[in-house]
Amino acid sequence: MMIQILVVVISALVQYISATEHQTFVLPQGTGPFKSSLTLSELIDKSRPDPFNASHARRIMISCFDPTPASSCKLTQIPYFPPVTAAVENEIVAEYEFPQILGHFELEVCAKKGNATPNRGRFPVALFSPGLNTSRLFYSSLAQEIASHGIVVITIDHPYDVDVVEFPNGDVIYGGRVTKPADANGSTASVEHALEVRAQDASFVLNTLGIGKQEKVVMFGQSFGGAAAATSMLRDKRFRAGVNLDGMMFGPVLNRSLGDAKNKQAFLLWGSSGHDTTTDETWGEFWSALQRSPNVDYAKEMTIVGSGHGSAWDLNILVDVAGIRDGLSDTARSLVGSSIPGARVWKVLGRYLPSFFEFTLGLKDEDVVFKAPNHRFPEVEILRSLEKR
């Protein structure tokens, strides 16, 4: 009898997943007061040969999510992934028993005319760097959430270390050029090189936007992208503040001071449940460096209780939009990150990250959610604080 029940359950699950593979799932706009438009751009740094392939100049792809008043927003839907990226990512997540549905998602965006540039005259600018071996496109929903609160969000693809980058002319660059320490007898040389390349990419984006030495922006990233945010701040003082969403730290930021006498900097460490400065040696070293620096004027360590490493990337909301979370295997669940719904994580980050950015940029006072536990966000814990203002 038990075997028959199990067969029926498995059969129903297979039929359910098969059905979802032929549907289209639309990701909604963010929860803030603004809608967001999207501009995709290729940027070519003609002054710099690509550090991973010197046969051509460094070229990157960015997505710019620009806050747009709801009254002037005409919603349209566009593919979440272009075809090649969808196929590559489907193949990768299949190894985790995840259904092949990544080509069936669409983003809801405001229609935008021409090659519009970020509206940084009105809104602050935040750069975003993705995890290693992922894609900037896997964070488009998160970017929309942050943009909906009045922040221009620019996500960056770093060719040769993210999974795949598709360019407007049809060129495709695949990743795999960065070796993790676990696959290099503990050596961090490859990842440290990649972080320096990402920092150069970030500075190039600022240069392309015409952001001068006295202007200030912020940067955040998930996993390896969080480490890239810290490295970028070390190399370029136009970055006033940074956020690391659950990524290990590498390189000079472990023992060198952020900021300088003329440019104070701030940082937010946001770990998954159980990943903090007491369990990750690199976080402990980085926090100690923040404490020692006379030019770091504000820092916090935060967590969402029950969250996982994948909680802050889009797969955690994609499964809910598709309605497949409950049907995932344990292996697939480990890829998603946690049982906390993606919409709830977005609600938390949509309150905390824009507030942190605006505070450190001097646009608003410190939000009450950073001063003490808040009843509206009971799952958020403040683990450490550093304030020198």
Q: Which residues are catalytic?
A: 223, 246, 309
Of 314, 258, 301, 273, nearest to 101 by C-alpha is: 314
The count of C-alpha atoms lying within 13 angstroms of the C-alpha of 44, restricted to the half-sphere facing its C-beta, is 5
The count of C-alpha atoms lying within 13 angstroms of the C-alpha of 282, restricted to the half-sphere facing its C-beta, is 18
User: What is the number of other CB atoms lying within 10 angstroms of the CB of residue 365?
Assistant: 9
Cα separation of 17 and 10, whole Å? 11
Cα separation of 315 and 170, whole Å? 26
Cα separation of 358 and 384, whole Å? 20
- What is the DSSP code string of 108-143? EEE---SSPPP-TTTS-EEEEE--TTS-GGGGHHHH
Q: Spell out a b/e string for 247-279, using b for 16 or more CB atoms within 10 Å of the CB, else e.
A: bbbbbebbeebbbeeebbbbbbbbbbbebbbee
DSSP collapsed to 3 states, 58-71: EEEEEEEEEEEEHH
Cα separation of 178 and 194, whole Å? 7
Cα separation of 296 and 241, whole Å? 10
Give the SS3 label for residue 188. coil
Cα separation of 376 and 373, whole Å? 9
Q: What count of residues does the chain have?
A: 389
In 158-315, the DSSP E strands lie at: 164-166, 172-174, 217-222, 239-245, 265-271, 296-304
Give the SS3 label for residue 13. helix
